Amino acid sequence: MQLQFGKRALDLSLPKVMGVLNRTPDSFSDGGAFIDFDSALRHAEQMAREGAAIIDIGGESTRPGAQAVSVEQELERVIPLIERLAPEIDIPISVDTSKPEVMRAAVAVGAGMINDIYALRQPVALEAACDCDVPMVLMHMQGEPRTMQKSPHYDNVVAEVKQFLEERVRVCEAAGILHTNILIDPGFGFGKTLEHNLELLRRLRELTTLGLPVVVGLSRKSSIGTLLGGLPADQRLHGSVAAAVVAVMNGANIVRAHDVKPTVEVLKVAAAVCGGEC
Ligand code: 8Y7
């Protein structure tokens, strides 16, 4: 399995790390550390040196209760950064957005991927993504960020997440998005209880039957904190890398993570155990 970013190919026979860069003042995981342009730039460069295969840049926090951000503000946060970084790092940049204007502008200045937690369900996002013609991550979410953790409910979480993703893949392909440009993500923590997240992680392999690369984001999420007796986000590294190992052993191809170096290291060990066949 591989992804094509223009002339650049990313081989997914070994698991890869997508480094997270939040240019936001209010993300739960890093709380505004990279709102400053130069700090953001340096952090992206560092993640690239540490072995990230992709850098995911976002300008809107999706944590429950976070402030909504206007198109203009989101553009201001991510576009200059992508424009500056794209020519200087030799790995693709992903834009973490649900807004069609941001997708188009980001790809125009060099972003090579779209990561949309709404799986292109926002008005005209599908058309924008189709025109962009880059790999895109379709993520499952039940509800919307503001309220999704109120009372998530499933009869069968794995079947329902899989069915949703299958349907989004079908809609995206019908709109003209290439099969080879689609990645899927169960959306850990997005309208899911701890038990839902654990079941999805335990049975992640079932999503691989769609024949598409599987992306997971578990890094510093609240389920990890809960399992560790309520540890805050800045103390969830060990829990996060443990979850990353389980995810790749269960078929994940790309792990979205804040702590790139430790994640790259644990995945190298996991991949060696799997003999290139995780
Ligand atoms: C995920 C994500 C977030 C995830 C994908 C956080 C933007 C919350 N989580 N994208 N984004 N998958 N594809 O913890 O799990 O960073 S935001």
pLDDT tens readout for residues 127-181: 999 999 999 999 999 999 988 988 999 999 999 999 999 999 999 999 999 999 9
How many angstroms does the Cα of residue 187 sit away from the middle of ligand 1? 7
Strand-pair partners of 115:
96, 137
pLDDT digits (tens, 9 = 90+) for 169-199: 999 999 999 999 999 999 999 999 999 999 9
| Cα–Cα nearest to 204, from 255, 240, 241, 276 | 255
Residue 215 CA: nearest ligand 1 atom is 13
Rounded distance, CA 94 to CA 105, Å? 12
Between 275 and 273, where is the model more confident?
273
Here the tokens at position 196 are 């839902």
What are the helix (H) ranges across the chain? 37-49, 71-85, 100-108, 125-132, 157-174, 194-202, 222-227, 237-249, 260-274
Ligand 1 pocket, CB under 6 A: 20, 29, 58, 62, 96, 115, 117, 137, 139, 185, 187-188, 215, 217, 221, 256
CATH code for position 164: 3.20.20.20
Distances (CA, A) of 218 to 60, 105, 245, 247: 18, 28, 11, 9
In the block, residue with structure tokens 């997270």: 20
Catalytic residue positions? Answer: 221, 256
In a domain, 13, yes or no: no
In a domain, 261, yes or no: yes
Residue 258 CA: nearest ligand 1 atom is 16
In a domain, 5, yes or no: no
In a domain, 10, yes or no: no
pLDDT at 147: 87
Supply the residue whose CA is at minimum distance from atom 15 of ligand 1: 217
Confidence of residue 29 (pLDDT cuts 50, 70, 90): confident
Strand pairing of 2-5 and 8-11?
antiparallel
Task: Tell me the backbone φ, ψ of residue 96, rounded to 5 degrees.
Answer: -90, 95
Domain region containing 33: 18-272
Q: Is 255 helix (H, G, I), strand (E, B) or coil?
A: strand
pTM: 0.97
pLDDT at 45: 97
In a domain, 277, yes or no: no
Rounded distance, CA 115 to CA 213, Å? 13
Count of domains observed in the chain: 1
In a domain, 174, yes or no: yes
- Mean local confidence (pLDDT), 82-90: 97
How many angstroms does the Cα of residue 178 sit away from the middle of ligand 1? 23
